[in-house]
Amino acid sequence: MLTKPLTKNIGTENVAADIDRYRDNGGYRGWLKSLSMSPQDIVTTVQDAGLRGRGGAGFNTGLKWSFVPPVGQGPEIRYLVCNADEMEPGTFKDRLLMERDPHLLIEGMAIAAYAIGATSAYIFIRGEYHLAATRLQEAIAAATATGLLGKQIQGRDYSLTIHVHRSAGNYICGEETALLNALEGRRAIPRAKPPFPQVSGLWGRPTVVNNVETLCNLPDLIEMGAGWYRSLGRGQDSGTKLFGVSGMVKNPGTWELPMGTPIREIIEEHAGGMFDGLNLRGFLPGGGSTDFLGPEHLDLPMDYDVIGRAGSRMGTGTITVLDDQTCPVGMVLNLSRFFARESCGWCTPCRDGLPWVVQLLERIEFGHGSREDLRLLQEQAQRMGPGNTFCALAPGAAEPLQSALKMFAQDFIDHVTGGCCPYDRVQAIEHRTTG
């Protein structure tokens, strides 16, 4: 039984560039089966399968599609947009799929577009992903030449055109309405909701925005059915997921594993465990905008709701580990600098709050901080929290900060009382001793 639908072609010689090799491995069978189904049947199948968005939010994909007016009702023009602007710190899963198996994404987009009645679709891709963009354009051209895209596909009354749009590159474009503004040629800032994109999105038309990995799940899900897809998971959630690990581990990378795979298995078996002489102090379970979890959470399954109940988010499913010789204050400072730089500047807690957080963390990290600075950091993390900003960028940036202030409180205090970073002091002593 097929157990790795996302990576089944990765490692197969030349499959990335060759549509015939892709079809020999079963490619486009899900798309052809979709054309024999009604759009509503596809929506129902995806909803019943329990596929949740793999971009971070974890919302049921079929349910999201159901908010678009049914085909034949509402506006005739509607759009599908693939969010390929992968900029979450520590995350690199979508690039793998686009570079190594571009036809899988094209096929998934065709299924999703047909399900919602869209005849135009866009891949909004990060500008730095040059190879991925080239391979996607080649895949689109090959699929069009063989009649799998274009006009009157397979003799049916359905046409679809897919465009690759190179993003100028900005983290805020991970927020779907900011992405839509950028795609329209506007400033990349979030829109007020409601209306939601499924009702009024790109150019005011019903629009669905899905992540790369989400769409890549569709071909085999449709081909094999909802029951098969649910059976792939080991926990509460269905299907498989690209999980990754970065940081001081022996084998950083990304692997397709069942949903519900324990965190310990991902870190110790697939990532090879920590480097010799290092111990795990904590980890971000789903990219840079999630709360720290500790060693006591290692046996939790990587399921959306389980990680949520533990006090964090599964996010993109890419784990960033913190070892016992790396400064947590410096790690949070590094993340905060990124988020401050990427703020779109639309609302005050994000535009002004994040640079203020960076200033406070720099004072503490470089030995000029005070206990008042620690109090101000706590206060600022609350002010950037959910409900206080226009979108989720600042609340996401606040998650590693607020959790680090709790989990590594003594480290922050040691920076203030010692007048320097304790980790730098230890490394300096070790250097003098061994040098």
Q: Residue 163's CB: how many other CB atoms inside 10 A? A: 13
**Tokens encoding 206:** 């019903």
The pLDDT tens digits along the chain (435 residues) read 799 999 999 976 666 668 999 999 999 999 999 999 999 999 999 999 999 999 888 899 999 999 999 888 888 999 999 999 998 888 889 999 999 999 999 999 999 999 999 999 999 999 899 999 999 999 999 999 999 999 999 999 999 999 999 988 789 998 999 999 999 999 999 999 999 999 999 999 999 999 999 999 999 999 999 999 999 999 899 999 999 999 999 999 999 999 999 999 999 999 999 999 999 999 999 999 999 999 999 999 999 999 999 999 999 999 999 999 999 999 999 999 999 999 999 999 999 999 999 999 999 999 999 999 999 999 999 999 888 999 999 999 999 999 999 999 999 999 999 998 998 754 444 433 444
Cα dist from 297 to 165, 231, 263, 376, 409, whole Å: 40, 25, 8, 29, 19
Identify the pLDDT of residue 15.
65
Identify the pLDDT of residue 11.
78
What predicted TM-score, i.e. pTM, was given to this entire model? 0.94
Query: The sheet that has 253-258: what strands, in order across it?
Result: 253-258, 240-246, 318-323, 280-284
Q: How far apart are CA 300 and CA 287, in angstroms?
A: 17
Read off the pLDDT of residues 209-233 as tens digits, 9 standing for 90 and up.
999 999 999 999 999 999 999 999 9
Identify the pLDDT of residue 182.
95
Q: Which candidate, 254, 253, 247, places its Cα nearest to that of 278? A: 247
Identify the pLDDT of residue 432.
36
Identify the pLDDT of residue 57.
80
Cα dist from 155 to 38, 42, 139, 288, 315, whole Å: 16, 20, 21, 47, 41
- Check residue 295 and report its DSSP letter: G
Read off the pLDDT of residues 344-381 as tens digits, 9 standing for 90 and up.
999 999 999 999 999 999 999 999 999 999 999 999 99
Amino acid at 61: T
Identify the pLDDT of residue 13.
62
Contact 281, 327 (CB under 8 A): no
Is it true that the peptide bond before 195 is cis, omega within 30 degrees of 0?
yes
Q: Which candidate, 188, 75, 68, places its Cα nearest to that of 127? A: 188
Q: How far apart are CA 318 and CA 284, in angstroms?
A: 8
Contact 201, 209 (CB under 8 A): yes
CA quadruple 176, 238, 38, 139: dihedral positive or negative? positive
Angle at 124 (CA atoms; ends 121, 125), nearest 5 degrees: 135
Contact 178, 344 (CB under 8 A): yes
**b (16+ CB within 10 A) / e for 72-96:** eeeeeebbbbbbbbbbbbbbbbbbb
Please report the beta strands in 85-236, taking only residues with DSSP state E, as ranges in sequence order.
Answer: 120-125, 161-166, 207-211
**Tokens encoding 162:** 């897919």
DSSP letter string, 359-373 = HHHHHHHTT---HHH
Identify the pLDDT of residue 87.
87
Q: How far apart are CA 53 and CA 44, in angstroms?
A: 16
Identify the pLDDT of residue 51.
97
Q: How far apart are CA 92 and CA 80, in angstroms?
A: 23
Identify the pLDDT of residue 303.
96
Give the domains, in start order, of the chain with CATH numbers.
Answer: 19-231 (3.40.50.11540), 240-323 (3.10.20.600), 328-434 (1.20.1440.230)
**Interacting residues of 426 by C-beta distance below 8 A, sequence separation 6+:** 325
Identify the pLDDT of residue 12.
67
Residue-level length of the chain: 435
* Helix extents (H) in 343-421: 348-351, 353-365, 371-383, 393-407, 409-418
